[in-house]
């Protein structure tokens, strides 16, 4: 799995959200799902976590910045996606088999667990995680009558519908 696969997913997301009105971007569908903006911010949090590996050998996905303008303004989010895609280029200089330490909070209030992983494994995770959130965003848009491209939110391994 390459960094370019993540960039492809993020760029597809950016092209869909950049023109959305902010009221649609921030509207929640109910208690069970966040807003489109919250899903975008959450996806970017994970991509940005990978960027910490340019200077370090440790990674956590649990440090999140909630309530930022990325969640409330589609144009800010689209700009953040473009900037993140550009910044991800720095990871291309790092071998995908580079070992890293991943810290995960398994239970609230407990010390994070440490797991050994690789850059490639974590890029693959973030790509799949981004696709998952794109699927949720696609559903939120569909509920509001906003069309998305046919394969938006689908993993490359998902067969095309006939």
**The pLDDT of residue 162:** 46
**The pLDDT of residue 160:** 66
Coil, helix or strand at residue 63: coil
Model pLDDT for residues 44-98, shown as the tens digit of each residue: 999 999 999 888 899 999 887 888 999 999 999 999 999 999 999 999 999 999 9
Give the domain ranges of the chain: 3-143
Model pLDDT for residues 91-150, shown as the tens digit of each residue: 999 999 999 999 998 888 888 899 999 999 999 999 999 999 999 999 999 999 999 998
> pTM for the full model?
0.91
Model pLDDT for residues 7-29, shown as the tens digit of each residue: 999 999 999 999 899 999 999 87
Span between the terminal Cα atoms of the chain, in Å: 27
Decide: 3 and 88 in contact? Cβ < 8 Å. Answer: yes
Decide: 74 and 17 in contact? Cβ < 8 Å. Answer: yes
**The pLDDT of residue 56:** 82
- CATH 1.20.120.450 corresponds to the domain 3-143: yes
Query: Distance between CA 71 and CA 66 in Å, rounded?
Result: 8
Going by pLDDT thresholds of 50, 70 and 90, the confidence category of residue 161 is low
Q: Which two tokens stand for residue 134?
A: 């794109």
């Amino acid at each position: 799995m390459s960094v370019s696969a993540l960039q492809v997913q993020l760029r597809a997301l950016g092209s869909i959200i950049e023109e959305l009105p902010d009221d649609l971007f921030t509207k929640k569908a109910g208690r069970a799902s966040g807003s489109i903006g919250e899903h975008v911010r959450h996806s970017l949090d994970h991509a940005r976590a990978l960027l910490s590996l340019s200077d370090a050998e440790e990674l956590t996905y649990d440090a999140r910045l909630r309530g930022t303008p990325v969640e409330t303004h589609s144009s800010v989010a689209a700009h953040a996606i473009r900037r993140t895609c550009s910044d991800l280029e720095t990871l291309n200089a790092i071998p995908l088999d580079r070992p890293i330490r991943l810290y995960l909070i398994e239970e609230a209030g407990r010390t994070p667990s440490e797991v050994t992983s690789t850059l490639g494994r974590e890029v693959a995770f973030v790509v799949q995680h981004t696709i998952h959130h794109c699927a949720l965003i696609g559903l939120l848009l569909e509920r509001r009558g906003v069309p998305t491209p046919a394969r938006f939110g689908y993993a490359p391994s998902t067969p095309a519908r006939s």
